[in-house]
Amino acid sequence: MIRNSILVRHGVASLAVATITFLVAPALAADAMTSADDVYKDVAATFGGVPGFLRQIPPTALDGFWSLEKNLELSETTALDAKTKALISLAVASQIPCQYCIWADTQTLKHLGASDQEIGEAVSMAALTRYSSTTFNGLQIDFEQFKKDLGGSQ
């Protein structure tokens, strides 16, 4: 009887917390978001204008998109330099594929002084990784043996 009472109380408490979280979390998240106008002002300050495609991103996604863009890709204080980030982005974009990203990353890389050889090797590394992954997964190569074969123990 006592055990059932405790379970009921825990159940009611869990339901109450879930309900409050469900009702309050969206309001808190909305309060924490930067308005679309504030994002557009920040973008304009960064680039000298707001690209048209940015205005097509839903306002609910805009703050998160811009935050990642500004604090990761555009930031000069990350562990990776701009050229390395663009090479990684191009390699990934080539595999997705994303024509928008491929074009933008290639333009960025040329602006940053990347050679055609560097650009080609980034794309080729993406292709090699995809090829290897397809082969190893398709052949169901034992992962533990694979690690041992390459000198790893974990």
**Whether residue 97 is found in the same domain as residue 68:** no
What is the per-residue pLDDT for 104?
97
DSSP helix/strand/coil, 101: helix
Domain identity same for 88 and 128: yes
Which of 126, 88, 80, 95 lies closest to 109 in space, CA to CA? 88
Mark whether 72 and 112 lie in a shared domain. no
Q: Are 62 and 36 in contact (CB under 8 A)?
A: yes
Question: What confidence score (pLDDT) does residue 11 get?
Answer: 47
Does 92 share its domain with 151? yes
- For the chain, the distance separating the N- and C-terminal CA atoms, rounded to the nearest angstrom, is 49
Examine the domain organization and report whether 88 and 143 are in the same domain: yes
> Is residue 71 classed as helix, strand or coil in its secondary structure?
helix
Mutual angle of helices 116-138 and 99-111, in 10-degree steps: 140
Distance CA 11, CA 5 (A): 10
**What's the pLDDT score for residue 33?**
66
Owning domain of residue 61: 35-78
What pLDDT is attached to residue 152? 86
On whether the CB atoms of residues 114 and 87 are closer than 8 A, the answer is yes
Buried-state track 91-107, b at ≥16 Cβ within 10 A, e below 16: bbbbeeeeeebbeebbe
Residues 148 and 101 in one domain: yes
pLDDT band at 34 (very low <50, low <70, confident <90, very high): confident
| Cα separation, 76 vs 152, whole angstroms | 34
State the pLDDT confidence band at 2, using cuts at 50, 70 and 90.
low
What's the pLDDT band for 110 if we cut at 50, 70, 90? Answer: very high
Q: How many domains does the chain have?
A: 3
Q: Are residues 63 and 94 in the same domain?
A: no
**What are the C-alpha distances in Å from 92 to residues 44, 102, 119, 153?**
28, 9, 12, 29
pTM: 0.74
Q: Model confidence at 7, in pLDDT bands (50, 70, 90)?
A: very low
User: Pick from 78, 110, 132: which residue ends a domain?
Assistant: 78
